[in-house]
A = this chain, B = another copy of it.
Amino acid sequence: MVTLKDIAREANVSVMTVSNVVNGKLGKVSAQKAEMIRSILKKHKYVQNETARSLAKANSNIVAIMLRNIHDENPLSSAHNATLLGAMIHRLQLLGYYAMISLVETQEDISRNLRSWNAQGALFLGMFDREIEQIYALSNIPLVFIDSYSNVRQLSSVGIDDYKGGCLAAQYLLAKGHRSIAFISPPDYENGVIQHRLRGFSDTLEQCGLHLPPEHRLILESDVDQRSVRQTVEALASLRRDVTAAFVTSDQIAASLIGGLSNLNIRVPQDLSIVGFDNMLISTQISPQLTTVEQDLNQKAALAVDILQHRLQNPGVPAESRVLDVRMVERSTVRTIDR
């Protein structure tokens, strides 16, 4: 590995001068020397040793991205997480940062990943409410939380209007004449996302004098585990007499359920209407195409990175929380009930 020192020796200048050229501090080097040094740099394909640079500057250009690991399930088998992660990495790179990814479970995982490479900042996906406060105690680099609800003041976060998402789904189904509707989701995991969608959903029902009985609230342990999908499908099938529709909090789960229902000869939307959430690619791949609540993942990813960068560039700016809008996308999984 060729170092600044090697280059300096060959160029007959000091290490400092080479360093200035590498870092583009051209005011400090004569144009002629700079050119000469640049050509030697190129000749040897010099690549800066970020490890040493980071140690000397206490500035690494690393951004840690931490994904909450739940039940040891691959968090990237969720299309939502994967798309978001890809978009964040892409944008970080454009801005000159390195992305170090870790799947975290314990405070210790977080602490280690936050501090060992002196990351400049960190992006968190799906952390639990109660963990967030503790994370702040670990480090004082800028932190941005995605899809987390928390009471911590001065939290930088990006999320979507989950409450409104629940409202939209309920309003839409009510407008189509549905009066008895199931709510299906993974466990809440204490990050508040599900809870807010549920609240928006049931508040809207209640405004119409309806309510969501506990037996219409179905919980799916895992959206990738076949067995738990099957159980939920069966529970849903046995609810069929009571319920004309279901709001499912992700397209991925909705697609699995629709597949399972079709095996039991329960047709969507004729026998049961379904509204999903996310508007991922899969909502147009299944048949009938899924009516769903849309969120913009690319925007969520970009905004998270931009907020982080803004705080990195302007130390001391106050925390910033952004809530992105959602909207209904009407397709073919909800039927109109005539009265």
Task: Write out the residue numbers on chain B whose beta carbons fall within 8 Å of the beta carbon of A224.
Answer: 281
Task: Write out the residue numbers on chain B whose beta carbons fall within 8 Å of the beta carbon of A286.
Answer: 255, 259, 285-287
Interface residue A310 (Cβ < 8 Å from any Cβ of B): no
Interface residue A291 (Cβ < 8 Å from any Cβ of B): no
Q: How large is the interface on A (under 10, 10 to 19, 20 to 34, 35 or more residues)?
A: 35 or more
Interface residue A299 (Cβ < 8 Å from any Cβ of B): no
| Contact of A51 with B117 in the complex, beta carbons under 8 Å | yes
Closest Cβ neighbor of A48 among chain B residues: B116
Of the listed stretches A76-84, A193-201, A315-323, chain B binds: A76-84
Task: Write out the residue numbers on chain B whose beta carbons fall within 8 Å of the beta carbon of A287.
Answer: 258-259, 262, 286-287
Task: Write out the residue numbers on chain B whose beta carbons fall within 8 Å of the beta carbon of A113.
Answer: 98
Contact of A86 among B75, B256, B284 (CB under 8 A): B75
| Contact residues, A14-51 vs B (CB, 8 A) | 45, 47-51
Interface residue A99 (Cβ < 8 Å from any Cβ of B): yes
Interface residue A70 (Cβ < 8 Å from any Cβ of B): no
Interface residue A102 (Cβ < 8 Å from any Cβ of B): yes
Shortest distance from the beta carbon of A299 to any chain B beta carbon, whole Å: 13
In the complex, besides A89-B102, A90-B103, A224-B281, 12 extra interface pairs with C-beta distance below 8 angstroms are A48-B116, A49-B116, A50-B117, A51-B117, A76-B76, A98-B100, A98-B113, A99-B100, A99-B101, A258-B287, A286-B286, A286-B287
Contact of A51 among B51, B86, B285 (CB under 8 A): B51
Task: Write out the residue numbers on chain B whose beta carbons fall within 8 Å of the beta carbon of A111.
Answer: 45, 47
| Contact residues, A196-221 vs B (CB, 8 A) | none
Interface residue A93 (Cβ < 8 Å from any Cβ of B): yes
Check A89/B103 contact, CB under 8 A, given A76-B76, A284-B259, A286-B287.
yes
Shortest distance from the beta carbon of A101 to any chain B beta carbon, whole Å: 5
Task: Write out the residue numbers on chain B whose beta carbons fall within 8 Å of the beta carbon of A9.
Answer: none
Of the listed stretches A52-60, A120-128, A149-157, chain B binds: A52-60
Check A51/B118 contact, CB under 8 A, given A74-B86, A86-B74.
yes
| Contact of B285 with A49 in the complex, beta carbons under 8 Å | no
Interface residue A309 (Cβ < 8 Å from any Cβ of B): no
Closest Cβ neighbor of A74 among chain B residues: B86
Closest Cβ neighbor of A107 among chain B residues: B45
Task: Write out the residue numbers on chain B whose beta carbons fall within 8 Å of the beta carbon of A116.
Answer: 47-51
Task: Write out the residue numbers on chain B whose beta carbons fall within 8 Å of the beta carbon of A83.
Answer: 74, 76-77, 82
Kindly state the separation between the CA atoms of A83 and B60 in the bound complex, as whole angstroms: 29
Closest Cβ neighbor of A64 among chain B residues: B98
Task: Write out the residue numbers on chain B whose beta carbons fall within 8 Å of the beta carbon of A49.
Answer: 55, 116, 118
Interface residue A130 (Cβ < 8 Å from any Cβ of B): no
Kindly state the separation between the CA atoms of A100 and B60 in the bound complex, as whole angstroms: 13
Kindly state the separation between the CA atoms of A103 and B87 in the bound complex, as whole angstroms: 10
